[in-house]
Every structure is written in structure tokens, then in C-alpha cells.
Amino acid sequence: MNFTDQIGHTITLDAPPHRIVSLVPSQTELLAYFGLIAEVVGITKFCIHPDDWFRTKTRVGGTKNVDFNKIEQLKPDLIICNKEENKESDVKVLMEKYPLWTSDIHNLDDAYSMINSLGEITGKIEISQQLIAQIKRNFEELRQCKKEALKVLYLIWKEPYMAAGKDTFIDYMLSQCGFTNVCEPSMGRYPELTAEQIKGLHPQAILLSSEPYPFKEKHLAEFHSYYPGILSVLVDGEYFSWYGSRLLNAPKYLMSVIKKLY
């Protein structure tokens, strides 16, 4: 069968894959949800969920520094990538040698399409459709929890400060909470900011993500001191940026963040 991915590349598979390498943490967790324990043979060092996979499966480098030799040794019949998380040059090299399916996620509809497609490819269409239906129900509950719009800044890095801007999945998830991202489209998708620029954006709240930079309590104290009039909170970045099966529990977590800020 032919399968076209989210960047328009088509692959042909004669049967569901039996040797899968996943280069995307969120999608690795999704494959585990599908029950593809034996089929997934390679993951990245950032694929921390599920923990037993992280401890036992072959790691083929990071999302942006792939070990081509390890992948070759695994002899995959499918590699799963993401347009943003993996380097375009790596994807092109791998695409020449293996069936490769790439996701491109900006919103929930993209995530649903990805989940459905990987369900079809791996022979897990029934469980993928059930998952999508439940995620949709859970997000409907979240939408009913929305409050009056709150202007927020979502930081993902320190030294330099870096924020999640417009046209990102994080920005979309913020909107699902009823939040307004203070970053303007002209600033780019992941703008670098100085401490003074942060002040100039006039956020009502600053969300400090647990990933990719691991903001901790000590950073929270720094922000409370430097921005005394702005509410700063630590948030679990996985629930704002992972677009696989973690979406199932994301609405409940996002509701808890909403309650902290109002």
C-alpha cells in the first residue's frame, strides 16, 4: 500500500512494518500505546517514555544527531521522523535508503491525522481511531473550562531566553487553554528575548517549561524577583508540546494550569 506523509512524501509498504525506528519522542510513546513492543527496534536518547523502552531499546543518537551506523545495523523497514524535530539533511539521507514517514504538526487536526496515519501503517487503525475519539472528548471538556483571555509568555530556553511563538504546536495548545500568546507573528516561531524585551511584551503570566530547557524552582524565584508584577509558574512541557498519545491526558493537566493562573 502507498502512504503519503505530512510533507507530501509517499512510501510503499507490502505489509505492516516489523522493524521500526522512531526519531520522535512523542511518536515513540504513541507506538508504545499501540502495543508495538517487538516492532520498534530503535529510538532516540530523548525517547524517555515509556521508561522500559528507554532503558532497553537501542538508542540511535538524538533527534538532531542521528547515528546512521546504528540505524543501518537495525535494518529498519520504517523510520518515523518529524519535520521540526529532525534535521532536514538527516531526513534526506535516510529517505534514500529506507521507507521514511515524516509528520508536520501545528495543531490538533494535524496530530489526529498523524495518529490515524500511523495506525493505518502499523496495522493498528482501530486503536488509533479510538484514541483520537477519546482525545477529542477530553479537549471538549477543556474548552468548557476556558476563562477570560490571559496574556502569556511561554519560555522554552534560558541564556538566551527563547519563547514559543506563533505557528507552533505550543502556541496552539495555549489557545486551547484560552490564553493569548504575547509573541507577535513577526517575531518568528521561536524568538530569542532579552530580560527587558520580556518586560516590554507585558505578559500577565510567564510559563516556564520543563523542556527542552529544564526550568526549576530556582528559576521561578529569579522570575518572581525580576518580574514582581507578573505571575510565573513552572509547567510540564510534555503536555504542551507532545502530540501523540500524551494528548489523552493533556486536557486534565492544562485544566490544572488554568486553575493556577486564575
CB 29 within 8 A of CB 39: no
- On whether both 109 and 125 belong to a single domain, the answer is yes
* 127-to-35, 67, 123, 163, 197 alpha-carbon distances in Å: 10, 32, 9, 35, 46
Share of the chain above pLDDT 90, in %: 95
Query: What is the distance of C-alpha 110 from the center of its chain?
Result: 12
Question: What percent of the chain clears pLDDT 70, i.e. is strictly above it?
Answer: 100
Do 245 and 116 belong to one domain? no
* pLDDT score of 180: 96
Where residue 68 sits, what CATH number does that domain have? 3.40.50.1980
pLDDT at res. 144: 85
**Residue at which a domain ends, from 117, 139, 161:** 139
Per-residue pLDDT of 176-205, as tens digits, reads 999 999 999 999 999 999 999 999 999 999
Q: How large is the average pLDDT for residues 57-86?
A: 97
Strand 2-4 and strand 10-12: the pairing is: antiparallel
pLDDT of 146 reads: 67
Distance (Å, whole) CA 114 – CA 116: 5
Q: Quote the domain boundaries for residue 254.
A: 147-261
Q: Provide the grid cell at 143.
A: 474548552
Domain total in the chain: 2
